[in-house]
């Protein structure tokens, strides 16, 4: 069975919890364990927070969350139309942050630890898309 959803919201920090709740509620149909739900919430939180903090240089802009469930697999995309990432490999390196003090540079590392795959597509000046998958059963 296949199911899909798409959600568009502005990158306000209040929407971090909203987004991960929506993704978790959608994934619940796949009958995940509580642990798998926590994993999904964590990864979605990371990607959405990056869209809040980094994508629009501190300003406001849209974020799109897409979820898909198919054959026991959960797919989630988080997309923004912000400044983009110039060097994706560098951005994914543990401890790398452009955010200064208070940020640890661990967001991508956490996404990788909690999901089966994390794909980053980004173009300078056009935006960033994080595509993640997780096998639920």
- List of residues contacting ligand ATP (CB under 6 A): 46, 50-51, 53-55, 80, 82-83, 85, 91, 96-99, 103-108, 128
Give the residue ranges of DSSP H helices in 5-129: 14-27, 34-53, 88-92, 107-114
Distance of CA 102 to the CA centre of its chain: 20
Instruction: Please pick, from the candidates 13, 71, 87, 98, the single residue that binds another protein as defined by CB under 8 A.
Output: 13
Min. distance of Cβ 29 from ligand ATP in angstroms? 27
d(C-alpha 49, C-alpha 27), whole Å = 20
Min. distance of Cβ 57 from Mg ion in angstroms? 15
Structure tokens at 28: 């619940």
Residue 123 a catalytic site member:
no
Nearest Cα neighbor of 63 from 72, 73, 53 is 53
Nearest Cα neighbor of 129 from 75, 68, 81 is 81
Binding site for another protein (CB under 8 A): 13-14, 16-17, 20, 35, 38-39, 41-42, 45-46, 49, 52-53, 94, 101-104, 106-107, 109-110, 113-114
Q: Could you list the residues that contact Mg ion (CB under 5 A)?
A: 50, 107
Catalytic residues: 46, 50, 103
């Amino acid at each position: 069975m296949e199911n899909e959803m798409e959600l568009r919201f502005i990158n306000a920090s209040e929407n971090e919890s909203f987004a991960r709740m929506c993704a978790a509620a959608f994934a619940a149909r796949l009958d995940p364990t509580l642990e798998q739900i926590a994993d999904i919430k964590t990864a979605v939180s990371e990607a959405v927070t990056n869209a809040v903090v980094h994508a629009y240089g501190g300003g406001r802009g849209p974020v799109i969350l897409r979820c898909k469930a198919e054959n026991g697999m959960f797919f989630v995309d988080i997309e923004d139309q912000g400044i983009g990432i110039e060097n994706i490999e560098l951005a994914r390196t543990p401890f790398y942050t452009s955010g200064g003090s208070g940020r640890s540079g661990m967001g991508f590392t956490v996404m990788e630890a909690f999901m089966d795959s994390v794909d980053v597509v980004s173009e300078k000046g056009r935006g960033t898309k994080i595509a993640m998958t997780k096998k639920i059963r």
